[in-house]
């Protein structure tokens, strides 16, 4: 089908990000849609109906498609959507097949430039829109630190070239369980240190040491790049080695410790009660020591409501402390009860991803695609 109208997933993301009205028609099976779907953009008009049922409709009226508005047809890998696009176009619908389907959508990164600070001329937030994962490239005097990168290292290399920046280190704020980190690969490729807290360099399940090279982070350490300095605050609770990287001029990269509208779940290591107490202590610490104007830059978000007007995901710490349901709880007993009441079952895939990030499990690209599919589930649900 050489002339079939198609839309690359990056272009679909750009249109949704700028507020274009786009109808997305997901023709996968309902159980696959339930595990993860396009949920990006304030003007998104999302519809779902299995292709097998859609072909049987006597008319397209049941879909409720808005005339004159383009329809992006998405399936698993961009194959079934081609036939559906042809079918819809034959009926007068301005349809486009999403190239690569949901598998490709979940590899899309939208880059946003945040307001520079006195010490950082570039603060770049990379938004992996299919999973709600956020990573960062910080640039000072041409030197760059990459924080919480996904496995698609080429995206970061392209940004470094674009901004004429030289990587001097890669850091993970914690050992991720929802996606495969690109930190080890990037550090080896660029011949720079990989920073992580030693408490997260071991398996939380059996204390087996990870099989990777790293430079340990400790509470109070300073990471220097260019004219900037980042302080390491150890904030265990989501993981034993969770850290926040705090810039002296007003930024806090909080990883999965603290989100705009939620907190990192403490159950992924199988020690919910003990880690919840650590999480409470970490929250108490930052409530006492962090200034209200500090800009919280998390590693995840759960939905459009966590975005600012410029579409970035960030908020002042005093706003987070006042409006984030979990972070606003002032009593330890009430907090621990709240966490226990909202603790869900841990996703099955997360153990495998964690072990792979520790170098204790080999995964193919196909395995990675399956394990990473769907939105992140790193927050305690009900916090938003």
Q: Name the stretches of the chain with pLDDT < 50.
A: 1, 384
Number of structural domains found in the chain: 2
**pLDDT at position 193, please?**
98
Q: Please report, for the domain that includes residue 28, its CATH number.
A: 3.40.250.10
The tokens for 343 are 């603790």
**pLDDT at position 307, please?**
95
Alpha-carbon gap, residue 24 to 66, rounded angstroms? 11
Tell me which of 105, 138, 167 is where a domain ends: 105
34 within domain boundaries? yes
How is residue 382 annotated by DSSP? T
* Domain enclosing residue 21, as ranges: 6-105
Please report, for residues 18, 34, 49, 80, 92, the alpha-carbon distance to residue 52 in angstroms, rounded to integers and kept in the order given.
33, 17, 8, 10, 20
> CA 249, 217, 351 angle in degrees (round to 5)?
110
Judgement on whether residues 367 and 226 belong to the same structural domain of the protein:
yes
**pLDDT at position 190, please?**
98
Q: Please report, for the domain that includes residue 207, its CATH number.
A: 3.60.15.10
> CA 308, 309, 312 angle in degrees (round to 5)?
45
**pLDDT at position 2, please?**
57
**pLDDT at position 384, please?**
47
**pLDDT at position 376, please?**
87
Judgement on whether residues 135 and 157 belong to the same structural domain of the protein:
yes
282 neighbors 237 (Cβ within 8 angstroms): yes
**pLDDT at position 382, please?**
63
384 within domain boundaries? no
Judgement on whether residues 57 and 143 belong to the same structural domain of the protein:
no
Task: Report yes or no on whether pTM surpasses 0.75.
Answer: yes
Tell me which of 105, 123, 148 is where a domain ends: 105
């Amino acid at each position: 089908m050489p002339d079939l109208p198609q839309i690359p997933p990056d272009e679909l993301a750009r249109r949704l990000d700028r507020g274009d009205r786009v109808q997305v028609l997901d023709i996968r099976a309902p159980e696959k849609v339930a595990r993860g779907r396009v949920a990006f953009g304030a003007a998104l008009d999302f519809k779902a109906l299995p292709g097998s049922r859609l072909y049987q409709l006597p008319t397209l009226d049941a879909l409720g498609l808005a005339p004159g508005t383009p329809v992006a047809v998405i399936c698993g890998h961009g194959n079934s959507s081609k036939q559906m696009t042809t079918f819809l176009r034959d009926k007068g619908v301005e349809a486009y097949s999403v190239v690569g389907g949901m598998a490709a959508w979940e590899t899309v990164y939208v880059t946003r430039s945040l307001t520079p600070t006195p010490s950082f001329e570039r603060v770049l937030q990379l938004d992996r829109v299919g999973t709600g994962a956020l990573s960062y490239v910080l640039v000072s005097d041409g030197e760059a630190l990459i924080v919480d990168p996904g496995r698609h290292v080429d995206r970061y290399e392209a940004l470094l070239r674009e901004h004429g920046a030289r990587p001097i280190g890669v850091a993970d704020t914690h050992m991720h369980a929802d996606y495969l980190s690109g930190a080890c690969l990037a550090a080896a490729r660029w011949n720079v240190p990989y920073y992580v807290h030693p408490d997260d360099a071991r398996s939380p399940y059996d204390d087996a040491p990870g099989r990777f090279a790293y430079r340990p982070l400790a509470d109070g350490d300073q990471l220097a790049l260019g004219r900037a300095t980042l302080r390491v605050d150890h904030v265990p609770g989501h993981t034993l080695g969770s850290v926040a990287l705090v810039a002296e001029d007003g930024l806090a990269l909080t990883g999965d410790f603290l989100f705009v509208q939620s907190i990192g779940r403490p159950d992924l290591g199988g020690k919910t009660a003990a880690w919840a107490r650590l999480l409470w202590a970490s929250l108490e610490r930052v409530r006492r020591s962090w200034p209200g104007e500090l800009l919280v830059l998390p590693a995840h978000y759960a939905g459009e409501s966590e975005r600012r007007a410029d579409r970035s995901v960030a908020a002042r710490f005093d706003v987070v402390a006042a409006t984030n349901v979990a972070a606003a709880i002032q009593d330890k007993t009430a907090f621990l009860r709240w966490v226990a009441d909202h603790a869900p079952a841990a996703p099955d895939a997360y153990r495998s991803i964690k072990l792979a990030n520790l170098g204790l499990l080999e995964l193919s690209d196909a395995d990675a695609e399956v394990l990473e599919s769907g939105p992140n589930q790193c927050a305690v649900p009900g916090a938003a």
